[in-house]
Every structure is written in C-alpha cells, then in structure tokens.
C-alpha cells in the first residue's frame, strides 16, 4: 500500500514537532536538521506503514520527566509499563498467556533485585506459521534519577519502545506470516537481565523461535546511518540483507559485529542472550552520540525525520525476513 505523504501532512508534522518542543540552542540545531531532512522526504515516495505522528508522540511521552528515567523496580518504570500495555491493548496485541507481564528476580553486580524486573510480552498471531515465532524487542528501562538529574533516555531506549508500538500498528493491516512476540524487556541496563530471563524461561520451545529483531537507540545520527548487526552469523539473513531494497535514504551499514575492528555489538543489548543460545538475531542501532548514558539524552536531541525513516526501514527488513523465512520452511 503505497502513498505519497502530502505537503499538508508534512506541514502538520513540522508544526506539531515545533510546537511540542521547547526552545534552546540545541533545539534550534535540531529544527534546522529537521527542516533539511523534511525537504529530502518531500521529494521521496514514502510508504505509509504506521502513524508517524503517533510514533513521535509516544517517544516524547516515554522520555518525559513523568517517567523519572524508567529505572527497573521504580515508579516511573511501572508507569512506562502501563503505558506500553495500554498501547498494546488499543492495537489488538494479545498477551502471550494470561498476562502481558513476566516478572523475574535477578542479581546484578552482587546486588539482588527480588521481583523487581517485569518484561512486557505481547503476541500477534502469524498467518502462515502460527507455531513459529519472531521476537521483536526493545528495552523500556533506563537509568532513573542520578544526583537529582533525571536520565530520560529518549534515544536509549524510548526510541526502540515507541518503534515496537508502531510494529503493532503496522500488523493491524499487515499481519505477519510468523507469530510475532512484541517484547519490551526490563532491566537491560542491569546486565540484560530481562532478555536473559526470557530466553531461560521461554513461554515457548526454543526451537520455535526463528529470529530476534532488537532495537536499541535508533532515533538520531548526524551521518544518516543505521547499523544492522547479526547477519554475519546466519546465511539466510546475510542474503536477505544483500538483496534488500532500502525504501529510504538511510544508509544501512553492517559491521560492529567483530569483523571490522569497531566496538563489537554482538552482545551489547538484549539480542545477546538470544545469540548465546544460537537463535539468529538482527540488532538495529546507531553509533553512540555525546548524550549516550547522560541526562542530556532528551527528546530535543531526537531527529524526527531520521527516526521515522529508520522505523520504516526496520519494518521493511522485518517484512522481507518474515517472507523469506516463510518460503524456506
Ligand atoms: Zn539501551
């Protein structure tokens, strides 16, 4: 279903983004980038896969002070969880069993966190292989409040979680061939504890999970570049990416996978525990930026047009992999 985004839509989008943001030097820079980016997008044919304004609104909400940095076990984290579950319900996502919540104990750096972690797990039934699963994941926890400063983690990882909700929106009109588990993992910042617990206590047999797609930090990059990691370890994924027709002008790079001397991201986020038990994965993320793990990782640093295109790109890769794995079965 192809559509051209009309000038009016783009204009409303710009007005909304400008209106929602407060003014600062950094913001002025973002707005310049935004208008530059928008002029690019006006020329492009854009496939409309989900509500683009809602994507930005959800990111803004999850990275607002109300959520107090979403630290595992704390009030803001619970609020974020409620927000995600409500969005899932609105979009017809079903719980895996009786509840969307999977709670777990864990310890990290010699500290016990009894019942502090809670993953959010939703499900969309597959049309061709309902008994085979693709887990699409993003962690919703972040660092909380440190020295009276709220670490809002707009990019890390409100960006991934808002994208996860857009996946649910996309599935309403485009149901997946494999059953998809939408996983908002908790306690990623505490040793990937939520994802570790999930793979060790899976609600389904390990062999029935054919892929993990993980998103962590996807909303800003000054070079218009996004990395995809994981194809190196799997021939089907390698060939899908080789033949992939990128519907955006985002540069989709492979690397950061131990093959190129750059930081190896193979186990850097929640896809790591999947890789450890030989489940294929694709991790999407951008290069670190100066606000990484600082209280300055705020909504104003997000690049809305870049981010929207990135989410389109990831959903397009998903569709391609979903179809290819379906054929190979
Ligand atoms: Zn993260």
Can you spell out the DSSP letters for 37-63? HHHHHHHS-----S-HHHHHHHHHHHT
**Phi, psi dihedral angles at 139 (to 5 degrees):** -85, 140
Q: How far is CA 16 from CA 119, 220, 283, in A?
A: 32, 19, 30
3 versus 13: which is more confidently predicted? 13
> If we measure between CA atoms, which residue out of 66, 226, 79 comes closest to residue 150?
66
| Distance in Å, CA 8 to ligand 1 centroid | 35
Using the mean position of ligand 1's atoms as its centre, give its distance from the Cα of residue 280 in Å.
20
In this prediction, residue 323 carries a pLDDT of 97
Distance between Cα 36 and ligand 1 center (Å): 28
Per-residue pLDDT, 54: 98
* 18: confidence class by pLDDT, cuts 50, 70, 90: very low
The Å distance, Cα 120 to ligand 1 centre, comes to 16
CA 157 to ligand 1 centroid distance, Å: 5
- For 261, other C-beta atoms within 10 Å of its C-beta total 8
Beta bridge partners of residue 106, listed in sequence order: 113
CB 89 within 8 A of CB 120: no
Most confident of 19-23, 96-100, 142-146: 142-146
User: Quick one: average pLDDT of 192-201?
Assistant: 97
- Residue 326: C-alpha distances to residues 132, 133, 222, 314 (Å): 10, 11, 36, 18
Q: State the pLDDT confidence band at 115, using cuts at 50, 70 and 90.
A: confident
- Average pLDDT (82-92) is 98
Report whether pLDDT(39) > 90. Answer: no
Lowest mean pLDDT among 17-21, 84-88, 191-195, 312-316: 17-21
Give the pair of three-digit tokens for residue 129. Answer: 């292989």
Distance, in Å, from the CA atom of 50 to the CA atom of 137, rounded to the nearest integer, reads: 18
pLDDT for the residue numbered 42: 40
- CA of residue 70 to ligand 1 center, whole Å: 12
213 CA to middle of ligand 1, Å?
A: 14
How many whole angstroms from 183 Cα to the centroid of ligand 1? 14
**Å from CA of 138 to ligand 1 middle:** 8
Distance from Cα 239 to the centre of ligand 1, integer Å: 28
pTM, rounded to two decimals: 0.86
Cα 248 to averaged position of ligand 1 atoms, centre (Å): 24
Longest dimension (CA), the chain: 55
How many A from CA of 29 to the centre of ligand 1?
A: 24
State which H helix or E strand residue 306 sits in.
helix 304-327
Residue 222's CB: how many other CB atoms inside 10 A?
11
Which residue in the block uniquely carries the two structure tokens 């899932």?
Answer: 88
Give the pLDDT confidence score for residue 11 in this predicted structure. Answer: 42
Cα(102) to centroid(ligand 1), Å: 20
Q: Where are the domains of the chain?
A: 7-327
What average pLDDT score do residues 231-250 get? Answer: 97
Distance 193 CA to ligand 1 centre (A): 12
Name the CATH superfamily housing domain 7-327. Answer: Zn peptidases (3.40.630.10)
What's the gap in Å between 192 CA and the centre of ligand 1?
9
Name the pLDDT band for 1 (thresholds 50, 70, 90). Answer: very low
Residues with C-beta atoms within 5 A of ion ligand 1: 156-157, 216
pLDDT confidence of residue 45: 40
Report the mean per-residue pLDDT for the chain: 89
In the reported structure, the alpha carbon of residue 139 is separated from the centroid of ligand 1 by a whole-number distance in angstroms of 7
Residues 276-296 pLDDT 10s:
999 999 999 999 999 999 999
Residue 19 predicted with pLDDT over 70: no
Question: Cβ distance 154 to 140 under 8 Å?
Answer: no
- Taking the centre of ligand 1 as the mean of its atom positions, its distance from the CA of residue 39, in whole angstroms, is 30
Question: What does DSSP say about strands 209-215 and 225-229: parallel, antiparallel, or unpaired?
Answer: unpaired
Confidence of residue 144 (pLDDT cuts 50, 70, 90): very high
- 111-124/94-95 β-pairing: antiparallel
* C-alpha of residue 292 to centroid of ligand 1, in Å: 9
- The rounded Å distance from CA 324 to ligand 1 centre is 29
Distance of CA 234 from the midpoint of ligand 1 (Å): 24
Distance CA(159)–CA(56), nearest Å, equals: 9
How many CB atoms within 10 Å of residue 47? 15
Question: Taking residues 73-93, what's their average pLDDT?
Answer: 98
Q: Provide, rounded to the nearest whole percent, the portion of the chain with pLDDT above 70.
A: 86
Give the CA angle between residues 272, 281, 80 to the nearest 5°: 65
Q: Which helix (H) or strand (E) element contains residue 178?
A: strand 178-185
Q: Which helix (H) or strand (E) holds 131?
A: strand 129-139
């Amino acid at each position: 279903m192809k559509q051209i985004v009309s000038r009016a839509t783009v204009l409303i989008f710009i007005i909304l983004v400008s209106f929602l943001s407060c003014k600062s030097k950094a913001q002025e820079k973002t707005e310049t980038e935004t208008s530059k980016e928008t002029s690019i997008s006006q020329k492009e044919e854009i496939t409309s896969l989900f509500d683009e304004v809602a994507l930005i609104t959800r990111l803004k909400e999850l990275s607002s002070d109300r959520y107090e940095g979403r630290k595992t076990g704390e009030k803001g984290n619970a609020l974020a969880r409620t927000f995600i579950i409500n969005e899932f319900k609105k979009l017809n996502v079903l719980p895996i069993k009786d509840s969307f919540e999977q709670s777990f104990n864990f310890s990290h750096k010699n500290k016990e966190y009894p019942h502090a972690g809670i993953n959010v797990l939703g499900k969309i039934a597959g049309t061709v292989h309902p008994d085979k699963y693709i887990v699409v994941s993003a962690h919703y926890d972040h660092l909380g409040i440190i020295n009276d400063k709220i670490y809002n983690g707009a990019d890390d990882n409100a960006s991934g979680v808002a994208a996860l909700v857009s996946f649910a929106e996309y599935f309403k009109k485009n149901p997946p061939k494999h059953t998809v588990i939408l996983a908002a993992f908790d306690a990623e910042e505490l040793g990937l504890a939520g994802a570790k617990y999930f793979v060790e206590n899976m609600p389904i047999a390990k062999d029935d999970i054919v892929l993990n797609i993980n998103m962590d930090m996807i909303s800003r990059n000054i070079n218009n570049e996004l990395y995809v990691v994981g194809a190196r370890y799997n021939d089907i994924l390698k060939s899908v990416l080789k033949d992939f027709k990128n519907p955006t002008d985002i540069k989709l790079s492979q690397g950061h996978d131990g093959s190129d001397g750059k930081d190896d991201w193979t186990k850097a986020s929640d896809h790591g525990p999947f890789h450890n038990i030989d489940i294929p994965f694709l991790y999407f993320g951008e290069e670190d930026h100066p606000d990484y793990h600082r209280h300055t990782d705020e909504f104003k640093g997000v690049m809305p047009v870049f981010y929207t295109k990135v989410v389109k790109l990831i959903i397009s890769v998903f569709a391609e992999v979903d179809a290819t794995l379906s054929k190979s079965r």
